[in-house]
């Protein structure tokens, strides 16, 4: 029996990645198109060694002294309890060969967006490292000009039958063919580019349509944009998970936005119209005479867009009144005159229950306190 580890030039405890790298290096050097016809036999030996060592089951059989690539390889005459169990309870039954092409795995990437993109929606381009169909073999797993060969052990059925004697008498079991791993075919000359997998790793640029109303944790599904499966199988799905960056001015709660508007005491007492910069540009805020600290002025429809419905949330402006400091003598005298006119030179103190700030109340509400 040939020493497949020596053929590939790897240690017996080599990892699958090391085996794959060794095969690709040798296959490039020994391919008949490169090294000439005289290297054909050596190229076939390398391909046969890789065919066995690249499959964990075949490699295990080989390490135990059986050559799965040889006709009848891996088929022993023993019969154990597992065989009996599978015979009477259907374990391990398989109808026909297994398709070599299988669906790829789903993939997950994260995308950071700002508040404006979450509010109005956006179109973003992301780069994804994923598995794509091999351009050299187009997913066939075979070197150009070659094709899969019908397995000589199972004759394309993907399964083999064994008859053995047990304490129950003569029984027959059907098991996946160890020589072809149940595919019904073997690949005599795997593609050098993809090492017989039918796919390679590549970086792609994908356009993502971010709908209005997304929030941190929202996942956008891109069908069939995930990894291509082994054997050039169909691609899985790609999920884009949103992470929204904090805004320096606006605090988001659901689809509503909150901000603080600082106004002078005189403006709150007399009333005025102020312009504030919002996500929709400059907007007027009508400050009514006698506006109190903590009062909320709601600007309808200037919040975040609803994810699953039309319309938008609101922008809630929390008024914070600034008490003047650093007054000169004339300004102090004017305030004293106002206090005398309102009878507030010696105001009577009134105690009431403490009220936390608006953002503390919001935080407590959403944290379940």
Going by the annotation, the residues of the binding site for Zn(2+) are 134, 137, 151, 154, 177, 180, 191, 194
Closest CA to 87 of 181, 176, 159, 174: 174
Residues 6+ apart with CB under 8 A from 143: 31, 137, 189, 190, 191, 192
Written as six digits, the tokens of 113 are 């967006």
Q: How far apart are CA 26 and CA 52, in angstroms?
A: 16
Task: Please give the C-alpha separations between residue 135 and each of 131, 132, 192, in angstroms, as whole numbers.
Answer: 12, 9, 11
């Amino acid at each position: 029996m040939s020493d497949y580890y020596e053929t590939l030039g790897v240690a017996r405890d080599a990892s699958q990645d090391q085996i794959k790298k060794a095969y690709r290096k040798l296959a490039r050097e020994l391919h008949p198109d490169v090294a000439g016809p005289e290297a054909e036999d050596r190229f076939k030996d390398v391909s046969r060694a890789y065919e066995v060592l690249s499959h964990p089951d075949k490699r295990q059989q080989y390490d135990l002294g059986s050559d799965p690539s040889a006709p009848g390889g891996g088929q022993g005459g023993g019969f154990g309890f597992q065989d009996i169990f599978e015979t009477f309870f259907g374990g391990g039954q398989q109808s026909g060969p297994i398709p070599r092409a299988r669906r790829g795995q789903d993939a997950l990437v994260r995308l950071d967006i700002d508040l404006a993109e979450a509010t109005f929606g956006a179109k973003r381009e992301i780069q994804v490292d994923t598995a794509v169909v091999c351009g050299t073999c187009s997913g066939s797993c075979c070197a150009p000009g070659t094709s899969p060969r019908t397995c000589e052990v199972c004759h394309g059925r993907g399964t083999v039958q064994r008859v053995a004697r047990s304490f129950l008498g003569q029984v027959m079991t059907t098991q996946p063919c160890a020589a072809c791993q149940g595919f019904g075919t073997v690949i005599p000359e795997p593609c050098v580019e993809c090492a017989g997998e039918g796919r390679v790793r590549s970086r792609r640029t994908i356009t993502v349509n971010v709908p209005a109303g997304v929030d941190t944790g929202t996942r956008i599904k891109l069908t069939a944009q995930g990894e291509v499966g082994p054997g050039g199988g169909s691609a899985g799905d790609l999920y884009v998970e949103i992470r929204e960056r904090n805004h320096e001015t606006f605090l988001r709660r659901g689809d509503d936005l909150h901000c603080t508007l600082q106004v002078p005491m005189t403006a709150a007492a007399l009333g005025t119209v102020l312009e504030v910069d919002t996500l929709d540009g400059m907007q007027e805020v009508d400050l009514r005479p006698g506006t109190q600290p903590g009062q909320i002025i709601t600007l309808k429809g200037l919040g975040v867009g609803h994810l699953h419905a039309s319309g938008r949330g609101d922008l809630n402006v929390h008024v914070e009144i600034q008490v003047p400091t650093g007054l000169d003598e004339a300004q102090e005298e004017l305030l004293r005159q106002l206090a005398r006119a309102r009878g507030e030179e010696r105001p009577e103190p009134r105690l009431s229950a403490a009220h936390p700030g608006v953002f503390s109340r919001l935080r407590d509400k959403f944290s379940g306190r």
